[in-house]
Amino acid sequence: MPKKYIATPSRTKELLNKYGFAFKKSLGQNFLIDVNVLENIIHQAGITKETGAIEIGPGMGALTEQLAIHADRVVAFEIDQRLLPILEETLADYDNVEVILEDILKADVEEVIKTHFGEDQEIHVVANLPYYITTPILMKLVRDRLPVTSLTVMIQKEVAERMAAVPNTKSYGSLSIAVQYYTEARVVLNVPKQVFMPQPNVDSSVLKLVMRKEPPVQVDNEDFFFELIQASFAQRRKTLRNNLNRFLQEKLEKHQVEILLEEASIDGGRRGETLTIEEFAALANKVYRELSKS
Protein backbone atom coordinates (compact mmCIF):
# COMPACT_ATOMS: atom_id res chain seq x y z
CA MET A 1 0.00 0.00 0.00
CA PRO A 2 1.51 3.37 -0.95
CA LYS A 3 2.41 5.83 1.77
CA LYS A 4 1.04 8.76 -0.20
CA TYR A 5 -2.08 8.52 -2.35
CA ILE A 6 -1.91 10.19 -5.75
CA ALA A 7 -5.08 12.19 -5.09
CA THR A 8 -3.59 14.91 -2.90
CA PRO A 9 -2.55 18.44 -3.95
CA SER A 10 1.07 17.89 -2.83
CA ARG A 11 1.55 14.53 -4.60
CA THR A 12 -0.11 15.82 -7.78
CA LYS A 13 2.12 18.93 -7.84
CA GLU A 14 5.17 16.76 -7.15
CA LEU A 15 4.37 14.57 -10.19
CA LEU A 16 3.60 17.57 -12.42
CA ASN A 17 6.98 19.09 -11.58
CA LYS A 18 8.92 15.83 -11.84
CA TYR A 19 7.62 15.06 -15.33
CA GLY A 20 7.23 18.65 -16.53
CA PHE A 21 3.62 17.87 -17.37
CA ALA A 22 1.46 20.67 -18.78
CA PHE A 23 -2.33 20.30 -18.89
CA LYS A 24 -3.83 20.18 -22.37
CA LYS A 25 -7.00 22.23 -22.56
CA SER A 26 -8.00 20.36 -25.73
CA LEU A 27 -8.15 17.10 -23.73
CA GLY A 28 -10.20 18.59 -20.90
CA GLN A 29 -7.68 17.49 -18.25
CA ASN A 30 -8.77 18.16 -14.66
CA PHE A 31 -7.19 15.80 -12.13
CA LEU A 32 -8.93 14.84 -8.87
CA ILE A 33 -7.04 15.70 -5.69
CA ASP A 34 -9.39 14.46 -2.95
CA VAL A 35 -9.27 10.83 -1.79
CA ASN A 36 -12.62 11.09 0.06
CA VAL A 37 -14.43 12.01 -3.16
CA LEU A 38 -12.76 9.10 -4.97
CA GLU A 39 -13.71 6.62 -2.26
CA ASN A 40 -17.29 7.90 -2.43
CA ILE A 41 -17.32 7.34 -6.21
CA ILE A 42 -16.01 3.77 -5.72
CA HIS A 43 -18.75 3.13 -3.15
CA GLN A 44 -21.49 4.56 -5.40
CA ALA A 45 -20.24 2.45 -8.32
CA GLY A 46 -20.63 -0.76 -6.32
CA ILE A 47 -17.01 -1.83 -6.75
CA THR A 48 -15.96 -4.92 -4.77
CA LYS A 49 -13.06 -7.36 -4.81
CA GLU A 50 -15.07 -9.57 -7.20
CA THR A 51 -15.86 -6.87 -9.79
CA GLY A 52 -13.92 -5.67 -12.81
CA ALA A 53 -13.60 -1.95 -13.60
CA ILE A 54 -13.08 -0.01 -16.81
CA GLU A 55 -11.75 3.52 -16.51
CA ILE A 56 -11.63 6.20 -19.19
CA GLY A 57 -8.92 8.85 -18.95
CA PRO A 58 -6.92 7.80 -15.87
CA GLY A 59 -4.78 10.95 -15.92
CA MET A 60 -2.06 10.45 -13.32
CA GLY A 61 -3.90 7.46 -11.83
CA ALA A 62 -5.76 9.04 -8.87
CA LEU A 63 -9.00 7.14 -9.49
CA THR A 64 -7.16 4.17 -11.04
CA GLU A 65 -5.27 3.67 -7.79
CA GLN A 66 -8.49 3.56 -5.74
CA LEU A 67 -10.06 1.18 -8.26
CA ALA A 68 -6.99 -1.07 -8.06
CA ILE A 69 -7.31 -1.19 -4.25
CA HIS A 70 -11.03 -2.02 -4.26
CA ALA A 71 -11.63 -4.00 -7.50
CA ASP A 72 -10.45 -7.36 -8.78
CA ARG A 73 -9.10 -5.99 -12.04
CA VAL A 74 -8.88 -2.58 -13.77
CA VAL A 75 -8.49 -1.68 -17.44
CA ALA A 76 -7.91 2.01 -18.15
CA PHE A 77 -8.07 3.72 -21.56
CA GLU A 78 -5.78 6.74 -21.93
CA ILE A 79 -5.43 8.92 -25.02
CA ASP A 80 -2.49 11.11 -23.90
CA GLN A 81 0.83 9.33 -24.45
CA ARG A 82 2.64 11.80 -22.16
CA LEU A 83 0.86 10.26 -19.16
CA LEU A 84 2.16 6.71 -19.69
CA PRO A 85 5.50 7.13 -17.85
CA ILE A 86 3.68 8.85 -14.97
CA LEU A 87 1.14 6.01 -14.74
CA GLU A 88 3.98 3.51 -14.84
CA GLU A 89 5.37 5.09 -11.69
CA THR A 90 2.13 5.78 -9.82
CA LEU A 91 0.61 2.37 -10.46
CA ALA A 92 3.80 0.35 -9.97
CA ASP A 93 2.48 -1.19 -6.73
CA TYR A 94 -0.59 -2.68 -8.44
CA ASP A 95 -0.40 -5.75 -10.64
CA ASN A 96 -4.15 -5.79 -11.38
CA VAL A 97 -4.14 -2.74 -13.69
CA GLU A 98 -3.76 -2.61 -17.46
CA VAL A 99 -3.42 0.77 -19.20
CA ILE A 100 -4.36 0.83 -22.88
CA LEU A 101 -3.23 3.76 -25.04
CA GLU A 102 -6.34 4.16 -27.18
CA ASP A 103 -9.25 6.50 -27.81
CA ILE A 104 -12.30 4.93 -26.14
CA LEU A 105 -14.46 6.13 -29.06
CA LYS A 106 -12.40 3.99 -31.46
CA ALA A 107 -11.71 1.04 -29.17
CA ASP A 108 -13.34 -2.37 -29.44
CA VAL A 109 -14.41 -2.35 -25.80
CA GLU A 110 -16.28 -5.65 -26.05
CA GLU A 111 -13.09 -7.38 -27.22
CA VAL A 112 -11.13 -5.78 -24.36
CA ILE A 113 -13.72 -7.08 -21.88
CA LYS A 114 -13.43 -10.61 -23.31
CA THR A 115 -9.62 -10.48 -23.10
CA HIS A 116 -9.18 -8.95 -19.64
CA PHE A 117 -12.11 -10.03 -17.49
CA GLY A 118 -13.70 -13.27 -16.35
CA GLU A 119 -16.51 -14.71 -18.46
CA ASP A 120 -19.37 -13.91 -16.05
CA GLN A 121 -17.61 -11.19 -14.10
CA GLU A 122 -19.62 -8.13 -13.11
CA ILE A 123 -18.02 -5.08 -14.74
CA HIS A 124 -18.51 -1.39 -13.98
CA VAL A 125 -17.32 1.63 -15.94
CA VAL A 126 -15.98 4.30 -13.56
CA ALA A 127 -14.49 7.52 -14.88
CA ASN A 128 -13.79 11.20 -14.44
CA LEU A 129 -14.75 12.15 -18.00
CA PRO A 130 -13.46 15.14 -19.98
CA TYR A 131 -16.40 17.56 -20.21
CA TYR A 132 -16.01 18.30 -23.91
CA ILE A 133 -16.64 14.70 -24.97
CA THR A 134 -18.91 13.32 -22.21
CA THR A 135 -22.03 12.77 -24.31
CA PRO A 136 -20.38 10.98 -27.29
CA ILE A 137 -18.52 8.63 -24.91
CA LEU A 138 -21.56 7.74 -22.82
CA MET A 139 -23.87 7.34 -25.82
CA LYS A 140 -21.34 5.04 -27.52
CA LEU A 141 -21.00 2.87 -24.43
CA VAL A 142 -24.74 2.53 -23.79
CA ARG A 143 -25.72 2.11 -27.44
CA ASP A 144 -23.14 -0.63 -27.93
CA ARG A 145 -25.00 -2.47 -25.15
CA LEU A 146 -21.73 -3.61 -23.62
CA PRO A 147 -21.77 -6.41 -21.06
CA VAL A 148 -21.35 -3.95 -18.17
CA THR A 149 -23.61 -3.54 -15.13
CA SER A 150 -23.28 0.21 -14.69
CA LEU A 151 -21.44 3.41 -15.57
CA THR A 152 -20.57 5.80 -12.74
CA VAL A 153 -19.05 8.98 -14.14
CA MET A 154 -17.95 12.40 -12.98
CA ILE A 155 -19.28 14.92 -15.50
CA GLN A 156 -20.41 18.53 -15.75
CA LYS A 157 -23.28 19.09 -13.27
CA GLU A 158 -25.60 20.56 -15.88
CA VAL A 159 -25.12 17.57 -18.23
CA ALA A 160 -25.67 15.10 -15.38
CA GLU A 161 -28.93 16.87 -14.54
CA ARG A 162 -30.05 16.71 -18.16
CA MET A 163 -29.30 12.99 -18.42
CA ALA A 164 -31.24 12.18 -15.23
CA ALA A 165 -34.09 14.69 -15.79
CA VAL A 166 -37.79 13.84 -15.65
CA PRO A 167 -40.63 15.34 -17.78
CA ASN A 168 -41.89 18.86 -17.04
CA THR A 169 -38.49 20.12 -15.91
CA LYS A 170 -36.16 22.60 -17.59
CA SER A 171 -33.37 20.00 -17.89
CA TYR A 172 -35.55 17.37 -19.60
CA GLY A 173 -34.90 16.91 -23.30
CA SER A 174 -33.89 14.50 -26.05
CA LEU A 175 -30.66 13.62 -24.20
CA SER A 176 -32.63 12.61 -21.06
CA ILE A 177 -34.78 10.21 -23.08
CA ALA A 178 -31.86 8.79 -25.09
CA VAL A 179 -29.91 8.00 -21.91
CA GLN A 180 -32.95 6.65 -20.03
CA TYR A 181 -33.95 4.41 -22.94
CA TYR A 182 -30.78 2.38 -22.30
CA THR A 183 -30.20 2.98 -18.59
CA GLU A 184 -31.69 4.00 -15.26
CA ALA A 185 -30.05 7.33 -14.50
CA ARG A 186 -29.57 9.23 -11.26
CA VAL A 187 -27.22 11.84 -9.84
CA VAL A 188 -25.52 10.31 -6.79
CA LEU A 189 -23.06 13.04 -5.79
CA ASN A 190 -22.37 16.73 -6.36
CA VAL A 191 -18.71 17.71 -6.36
CA PRO A 192 -17.20 21.19 -5.83
CA LYS A 193 -14.61 22.69 -8.21
CA GLN A 194 -12.03 22.76 -5.42
CA VAL A 195 -11.29 19.02 -5.61
CA PHE A 196 -9.75 19.35 -9.09
CA MET A 197 -6.40 20.55 -10.40
CA PRO A 198 -6.69 22.77 -12.36
CA GLN A 199 -10.10 23.92 -11.15
CA PRO A 200 -12.74 23.75 -13.91
CA ASN A 201 -15.08 26.68 -14.55
CA VAL A 202 -18.17 24.61 -13.79
CA ASP A 203 -19.47 22.40 -11.00
CA SER A 204 -19.43 18.62 -11.37
CA SER A 205 -21.72 15.74 -10.46
CA VAL A 206 -21.36 11.99 -10.36
CA LEU A 207 -23.99 10.31 -12.50
CA LYS A 208 -24.79 6.62 -12.12
CA LEU A 209 -26.26 4.81 -15.12
CA VAL A 210 -27.46 1.25 -14.50
CA MET A 211 -27.78 -0.64 -17.77
CA ARG A 212 -31.28 -1.90 -18.56
CA LYS A 213 -31.72 -5.48 -19.75
CA GLU A 214 -34.61 -4.26 -21.95
CA PRO A 215 -35.65 -0.74 -22.96
CA PRO A 216 -38.65 0.61 -20.97
CA VAL A 217 -40.69 0.90 -24.20
CA GLN A 218 -41.06 -1.09 -27.41
CA VAL A 219 -40.44 0.92 -30.59
CA ASP A 220 -40.75 -0.19 -34.22
CA ASN A 221 -37.60 1.65 -35.27
CA GLU A 222 -35.06 3.03 -32.79
CA ASP A 223 -33.46 5.50 -35.20
CA PHE A 224 -36.82 7.00 -36.12
CA PHE A 225 -37.88 7.10 -32.45
CA PHE A 226 -34.84 9.24 -31.59
CA GLU A 227 -35.26 11.42 -34.71
CA LEU A 228 -38.84 12.20 -33.77
CA ILE A 229 -37.82 13.03 -30.19
CA GLN A 230 -35.09 15.40 -31.39
CA ALA A 231 -37.56 17.07 -33.73
CA SER A 232 -40.03 17.48 -30.85
CA PHE A 233 -37.42 19.48 -28.91
CA ALA A 234 -36.05 21.35 -31.96
CA GLN A 235 -37.70 24.57 -30.77
CA ARG A 236 -38.51 24.11 -27.11
CA ARG A 237 -41.00 26.97 -26.94
CA LYS A 238 -43.03 25.67 -29.85
CA THR A 239 -45.84 23.19 -29.47
CA LEU A 240 -45.41 19.53 -30.34
CA ARG A 241 -47.76 20.07 -33.29
CA ASN A 242 -45.57 22.85 -34.74
CA ASN A 243 -42.34 20.91 -34.31
CA LEU A 244 -43.82 17.74 -35.83
CA ASN A 245 -45.33 19.58 -38.79
CA ARG A 246 -41.92 21.01 -39.54
CA PHE A 247 -40.23 17.61 -39.14
CA LEU A 248 -42.78 15.82 -41.34
CA GLN A 249 -43.59 18.60 -43.82
CA GLU A 250 -42.41 16.72 -46.89
CA LYS A 251 -43.99 13.44 -45.86
CA LEU A 252 -47.35 14.14 -44.22
CA GLU A 253 -50.09 16.78 -44.42
CA LYS A 254 -50.94 18.77 -41.31
CA HIS A 255 -54.32 17.06 -40.92
CA GLN A 256 -52.57 13.65 -41.02
CA VAL A 257 -50.23 14.73 -38.22
CA GLU A 258 -53.28 15.85 -36.21
CA ILE A 259 -54.96 12.46 -36.67
CA LEU A 260 -51.82 10.60 -35.55
CA LEU A 261 -51.56 12.79 -32.43
CA GLU A 262 -55.19 11.99 -31.62
CA GLU A 263 -54.66 8.28 -32.20
CA ALA A 264 -51.72 8.38 -29.76
CA SER A 265 -53.97 10.27 -27.25
CA ILE A 266 -51.60 13.25 -27.21
CA ASP A 267 -52.69 16.90 -27.31
CA GLY A 268 -50.69 18.61 -30.05
CA GLY A 269 -50.78 21.85 -28.05
CA ARG A 270 -48.39 20.37 -25.47
CA ARG A 271 -44.65 20.93 -25.58
CA GLY A 272 -42.12 18.16 -26.04
CA GLU A 273 -40.84 18.53 -22.48
CA THR A 274 -44.20 17.36 -21.06
CA LEU A 275 -44.20 13.98 -22.82
CA THR A 276 -43.06 10.80 -21.10
CA ILE A 277 -40.90 8.23 -22.89
CA GLU A 278 -44.02 6.02 -23.15
CA GLU A 279 -45.93 8.80 -24.95
CA PHE A 280 -43.03 9.41 -27.32
CA ALA A 281 -42.87 5.67 -28.09
CA ALA A 282 -46.62 5.52 -28.84
CA LEU A 283 -46.39 8.57 -31.10
CA ALA A 284 -43.22 7.43 -32.90
CA ASN A 285 -44.78 4.03 -33.64
CA LYS A 286 -47.98 5.65 -35.04
CA VAL A 287 -46.01 8.01 -37.28
CA TYR A 288 -43.52 5.35 -38.40
CA ARG A 289 -46.32 2.97 -39.40
CA GLU A 290 -48.07 5.72 -41.33
CA LEU A 291 -44.86 6.62 -43.20
CA SER A 292 -44.17 2.95 -43.92
CA LYS A 293 -47.45 2.70 -45.85
CA SER A 294 -46.28 5.08 -48.54
C-alpha angle with apex 192: 190 to 196, nearest 5 degrees? 120
Please report the pLDDT score of residue 38 as a whole number: 96
Please check whether residue 257 lies inside any domain of the structure.
yes
Please check whether residue 2 lies inside any domain of the structure.
no
Q: Is the pLDDT of residue 106 over 60?
A: yes
Cα-Cα end-to-end distance for the chain: 67
Q: Average pLDDT over the chain, rounded to whole?
A: 94
**111-145 residue pLDDT tens:** 999 999 999 999 999 999 988 889 999 999 999 99
Average pLDDT estimate for 166-192: 97
Average pLDDT estimate for 29-45: 94
Has 32 been labeled as part of a binding site?
yes
Please report the pLDDT score of residue 22 as a whole number: 81
Has 128 been labeled as part of a binding site?
yes
Q: Which of 135, 103, 124, 112 is nearest to 27 (CA)?
A: 103
Residues 176, 129 within the same domain:
yes
Q: Is the pLDDT of residue 31 over 70?
A: yes
Please check whether residue 238 lies inside any domain of the structure.
yes
Residues 54, 180 within the same domain:
yes
**72-83 residue pLDDT tens:** 999 999 999 999
Please report the pLDDT score of residue 217 as a whole number: 98
Residues 173, 287 within the same domain:
no
Residues 167, 250 within the same domain:
no
Average pLDDT estimate for 183-198: 94
Has 36 been labeled as part of a binding site?
no
Q: How many residues does the chain have?
A: 294
Please check whether residue 75 lies inside any domain of the structure.
yes
Helix count and strand count (H, E) for the chain: 12, 9
**Considering its fold, how many domains does the chain have in total?**
2
Residues 98, 198 within the same domain:
yes
For residue 62, the enclosing domain spans 9-211
C-alpha angle with apex 226: 223 to 227, nearest 5 degrees? 85
